[in-house]
A and B are shown apart, each in its own frame.
Chain A
């Protein structure tokens, strides 16, 4: 049996780690804080809770050590159950140095080393927290070690670190536009809905106050919409202020954030899939966002950072990022359209979904309301045609491209040499029309699905996937 050995020359995390723990945990105990503040014994309970968190954080600090010998990062932690995690340099998917507001206030950084590990411990090693200098030197040491693994120790040591070539910067104005046109756009319909319902309520007022009431409601509603848009814009700017992407040798370096500063290093060799997103509004404005995904999977704090690599840029810049992320591989055209029978199937499915989702309306409110179900079913069916036409894919010598969506359009490029496995499925309804779904699995949790392709198309896809492993 192999003993679990902590690194002999292990270093400790920064001594303010327990303080960071308290600051992190306390907001999650908000019900306790809320109750404590309204009672005379509250401060005592709150103080006890802080003391407990501080002790737990102190024990975590005292029992956690890390060491990096140039080949692997070793982190030992735990009091009763000792865990030693080893991360060989050649398995590192991505390195993030994060400085949230609390880190900035205390002059420390969080280092996240993401691994392709779907196990119970999650896919990352977090050094929470190190001094700023220590975090930077750890990042540099990991990069140096990776270069040594590629070039050899002697060569890497003699060659100076490669220069950075800036690929793009995103201005605050563009980030604000991105916030308003992105997922935060959902704030706007909510605001409009609020305005409409308030107007509806105002009609119940007496005649004398009607004009004034309507006016105040209109102003209030418009104000709500403007605030919603403003919040979306501000959140986007706070999240990605100072966004900068650069290429350094075979790595992508991304820096972003105002309150939470994040510096990410993505080795291009670890890129599993690149996804370009556009919604209807962004398409009109010629904007897009890009998701450069590695196999790294984060749990807990900072999760999701591997996504949304480029929050919003001009479409030409987004396409350039896709090409850079794909390295020397050719990006194929999505030249294979959905077969007509698949579009007809999608129309039928959406008709049924539209009808099924609203069938309760005539049941509850009576037969005269059947038009709601008819309209929903017709709208569903009508949306099936553009949705079916938007589904396209292409097969190249080095990659597969899959496009889908109308309102939220996405184009995923999968390097063939990154494919881990694949599967072809067929439901009884698809069998009638000879259609298949093809799922392409890459490292991590990503799966790219090519929906409702003909048997010949799925055979061509599988043939390309086979060639990649042949």
Chain B
């Protein structure tokens, strides 16, 4: 079976050859062209959730330390709790920085992840359903989550914390593209 991208060389050759004109790394998107950020309120919403959990965890660590090793344990627990709270404060901003989406030629592409980077694509003509969801914190900041469903249970098409108006526009646009793709026979 000949390889469609380069029939004359083995894959190992392609990987090993320096300076070869190879496809772009899927996790490295060129420039910032066509890339969209989430709503600026996203890190605040994430932070409210993560810091709340971190404070509860820190309190549990202090109590556990106090029960197990007295005051010294409580101090250690407080230290651990402080680190967790600091991480919970810092992480949402980084998460926001790495969260991007773009509407490609044939698919909606999402890129995210601070430590664990991820890039996913949902072809337009595979979209079965688009849900717009809004939780209490999101309602306060007038943002929504756009969830794209395909026939695959594991598809990862979810854009959190979009401005409500932008989400409506994006949903209509995606539905229009999906409809035209389907009409074209996909």
User: Total interface residues on B, using CB and 8 Å?
Assistant: 40
Answer whether A445 and B15 are a contact pair too, CB < 8 Å, given A422-B121, A426-B116: no
Q: Are B5 and A460 in contact (CB under 8 A)?
A: yes
Q: How far is the CA of A381 from the CA of B179 in the complex (A)?
A: 52
Majority DSSP secondary structure for residues of B touching A: loop
Q: Are B153 and A424 in contact (CB under 8 A)?
A: no
Q: Are B23 and A444 in contact (CB under 8 A)?
A: no
**Which of the listed residues B3, B22, B126 has the most CB atoms from chain A within 10 Å of its own CB?**
B3
- Identify the A interface with B (CB < 8 A): 116, 118, 295, 297, 330-333, 335-337, 339, 394-397, 419-428, 431, 436, 438-439, 441-447, 454-460, 462-467, 469-470
Interface stretch (choices B41-49, B50-58, B70-78, B154-162): B154-162
Please, which residues of chain A bring their CB within 8 A of the CB of B118? 423-426
Q: Are A421 and B5 in contact (CB under 8 A)?
A: no
Residue of A nearest to B153 (CB): A118
Residue of B nearest to A465 (CB): B121
Q: How far is the CA of A45 from the CA of B159 in the complex (A)?
A: 55
**Which of the listed residues B22, B126, B152, B154 has the most CB atoms from chain A within 10 Å of its own CB?**
B152
- Identify the B interface with A (CB < 8 A): 1, 3-5, 10-12, 14-15, 22-27, 105-107, 113, 115-126, 150-157, 186
Please, which residues of chain B bring their CB within 8 A of the CB of A470? 105-106
Please, which residues of chain B bring their CB within 8 A of the CB of A333? 1
Could you tell me the distance in whole angstroms from the C-beta of B14 to the nearest C-beta in chain A? 6
Q: How far is the CA of A335 from the CA of B1 in the complex (A)?
A: 9
**Number of interchain pairs (Cβ within 8 Å):** 134
Q: Are A421 and B120 in contact (CB under 8 A)?
A: yes
Q: Are A444 and B121 in contact (CB under 8 A)?
A: no
Q: How far is the CA of A332 from the CA of B105 in the complex (A)?
A: 27
Known: A396-B4, A441-B150, A467-B4. 13 other contacts (CB 8 A): A116-B151, A425-B119, A426-B118, A436-B26, A441-B152, A441-B154, A443-B152, A456-B23, A459-B22, A460-B5, A466-B106, A469-B123, A470-B106
Residue of A nearest to B122 (CB): A421
- Residue from B4, B117, B119, B154 in contact with A395 in the complex, judged by beta carbons closer than 8 Å: B4
Please, which residues of chain B bring their CB within 8 A of the CB of A447? 152, 154
Q: How far is the CA of A426 from the CA of B98 in the complex (A)?
A: 13
Q: How far is the CA of A463 from the CA of B14 in the complex (A)?
A: 15
Could you tell me the distance in whole angstroms from the C-beta of A289 to the nearest C-beta in chain B? 24
Please, which residues of chain A bring their CB within 8 A of the CB of B12? 337, 339
Q: Are A424 and B26 in contact (CB under 8 A)?
A: yes
Question: What are 29 sample pairs from A and B whose C-beta atoms fall under 8 A apart?
Answer: A297-B153, A332-B1, A337-B12, A395-B3, A396-B1, A397-B4, A421-B123, A421-B152, A421-B156, A421-B157, A422-B121, A423-B119, A424-B118, A425-B119, A426-B27, A438-B26, A441-B150, A443-B150, A446-B152, A457-B15, A458-B25, A459-B22, A459-B25, A460-B22, A460-B23, A462-B26, A463-B5, A467-B4, A469-B123
- Residue from B1, B5, B15, B120 in contact with A422 in the complex, judged by beta carbons closer than 8 Å: B120
Answer whether A444 and B1 are a contact pair too, CB < 8 Å, given A454-B15, A462-B23: no
Please, which residues of chain B bring their CB within 8 A of the CB of A336? 11
Please, which residues of chain B bring their CB within 8 A of the CB of A459? 22-26
Q: Are A421 and B26 in contact (CB under 8 A)?
A: no
